[in-house]
Each structure stands twice: as structure tokens, then as C-alpha cells.
Amino acid sequence: MSYGGTAAQELGSVMGRLLEVRESAALTHLAAVELSALYGATGHSVRRVFPIAAARATAAPASEYAVALDSPEGTPAPAPIADDAELQACIESRRALLREGRVLVPLSLGDEVRHVVEVLGARADGGAAIGAELVPLLTAYYARLAEGETDPLTRLATRRLFYSQTGAALARGSPGAARFLAVIDIDHFKSVNDRFGHLYGDEILIHFARLMRETFRASDSLFRFGGEEFLAVFTVPRAAERLRPLERFRAAVEAYAFPRVGRVTASIGLSAMANAITPVTTYVDRADRALYFAKEHGRNQVREYEALVADGTLTEAQAEGEATLF
């Protein structure tokens, strides 16, 4: 379809604003606003899409997917798709629904739908034709951004995305919840590579990442930081519960039968992310030093930076510089 000068200019103007965004999650929200304006809609939203297992549903699900309303304040626990046949078909087919009254645009990386932009009260006149032209450009740009944010081996988010997302999350705060950072490292991973080869090492990383996705909640943020080191950023309603998700994951790794290698364990360092004033790099350093302590004292355990400082095992000055553990 070709447009006159005005329509083409408007499409170019909208796409130009979208191209200024450099993160896939942020792109979804701007896209919802732009599509809502083009369709003269009465409302819009963004939903994150998860495997049904993330919803922890006990009854037999009617769909393989669960969804949660996405917002800058955070993502709640996902729920199974109930009787929304249009949304389910949109996700399963990875095709947009463009009709008067409702627009659904699935945004994917490969065959994995990660977000769905929804526009309600859409009109079929005016900018609807421009909106239809915009959708394939939007989906292609989203896929490009998501690919750059995703580790190709484990499909977890990358180190670069960790710094940008975590800094923004700290700035927003987490009312009613305590936020923590965990640095997770596979024990003796180098010896696994040396003994079995890098192909089996890569397979361990893939299974390890899958265990992270299955064990942590859907709303927790998981990253591959590099090599055999992973990060998890999570919140708990009460700080006293901070060790529970980490111990659950550590036990899941210990109990898992990895192909050919068999038993693998993980050491974990934890730090509380108390405020947005402290740089994210400081929290990483604190958790990393707690991890180092865990590795030096038996591995296969969770150690907390603040607890190590409180009991005098580490001094805060040592923990911020070149630590000498004793």
C-alpha cells in the first residue's frame, strides 16, 4: 500500500520516534502509545508472555502461555490465559490482530513471543492504515533489539541489559518489597570443560539457565553475566525471606542430573539493594565478594555480604576494596 505525502510523513515520523528507543521493553510501551494514537483508541496496555509453567497453575491449563500486565513499576505474577481466544490465537500464530475495536500485536524473538501490545477501542478510519503499515516495521525492530539483549546460548538477558534495567528499577524503587542481587557461579566449571570438553560445558550452561527460569519467579530478572557466572535480581515481601529462593535454586541444581557430567553444584553471593544512590556496580561487587567467600569455604552454599560484614568476617572497607578474607 502506498500513501500520499502526509501519510508517508506520519509513518516516518512515528517510526523515527520508535527508532530512538534502544531497549525492547521500553519499545513496547512507546509502541502502545503510538498505536493507540493512530487508531484513535480508548486505551492501551502491554502484556508480558510467559510459558504456562511460570503461572504455577494447578489446574490443567487451556493454553501453553501465561500473561501479566507489564508496567514501568514492575510485572505482577503471570496468570493463565482464561477465555481470551483472540489473545491466545495471536500468541500461538505470532500474527497481529488488526480489527475495529481491538488491535493485538505480538512481539517476538524467533518463535518466542515475549510481549503483546493491546489497543482497545480502535477505529478503522483515520490512521488505522498507517498503523497496519507500522506493525511489521515495529515487530522487526523489536526482534533486532531483543536479539542484542539476549545471550545466544542460554537465552537469558545479557550483562549490558542488567546494568540498564537494574539501574532503572532501583530508581523506581520497590514499595512494599525488599530488592536483592545474587551472583551465582557454577562450581568447578573449568574442570568440567577440561574433562568433558566445551560442548558438554555449553550444555551444562543451557540446563543451568533452564533451572534458573523454572526455579525463580517469572517476575525475577535473570542474566548471564559472563562465562559460568549468572545474576538474579529479585524482590521478596519481607527481607527475612531473602534466602528462600536462592536455597531453592541451589538445591535444585544439586539434585539435577546433568547430561554425562552428573552432579553439579553452585555457589551464591547475595547483597541487599537498599537504595538508588549506591551504584549498581557496588552491589555487584558486594555480592561477588560474598560469592568468593562461599567458594573459599566449601562451595555449594549461599552467603550474604551484609551478614558477613555484621559478624565481622568481612569488614566493609575490605569488601569495597581488595578483600582479604579470614
Is there a domain that residue 81 lies in?
A: yes
Residue 304 and residue 168 share a domain: yes
Q: Is the dihedral of CA 151, 157, 161, 163 positive or negative?
A: negative
Whole-Å CA distances, 106 to 46, 49, 73, 79, 143? 10, 9, 22, 17, 11
Residue 204 and residue 316 share a domain: yes
pLDDT tens per residue across all 326 residues of the chain: 444 458 889 999 999 999 999 999 999 999 999 999 999 999 999 999 998 888 877 666 678 899 999 876 666 789 999 889 999 999 999 999 999 999 999 999 999 999 999 999 999 887 899 999 999 999 999 999 999 999 999 999 999 999 988 888 887 777 668 899 999 999 999 998 888 888 989 999 999 999 999 999 988 999 999 999 999 999 998 889 999 999 999 999 999 999 889 899 999 999 999 887 889 999 999 999 999 999 999 999 999 999 999 999 988 755 454 443 33
Whole-Å CA distances, 204 to 35, 208, 282? 42, 6, 29
Residue 217 and residue 130 share a domain: no
Domain boundary among 120, 149, 178: 149
Residue 137 and residue 166 share a domain: no
Is there a domain that residue 154 lies in?
A: no
Is there a domain that residue 326 lies in?
A: no
Q: Which domain holds residue 140?
A: 5-149
Give the count of domains, the chain. 2
What is the CATH classification number for the domain harbouring 256?
3.30.70.270
Q: What is the model's pTM?
A: 0.87
Domain boundary among 101, 117, 149: 149
- Count of alpha carbons within 13 angstroms of residue 146, beta-carbon side: 19
Between strands 43-51 and 266-272, the pairing is unpaired
Look at the chain and count its residues: 326
Name every residue whose Cβ is closer than 8 Å to that of residue 52 and which is 6 or more positions away in sequence. Answer: 61, 63, 64, 65, 66, 80
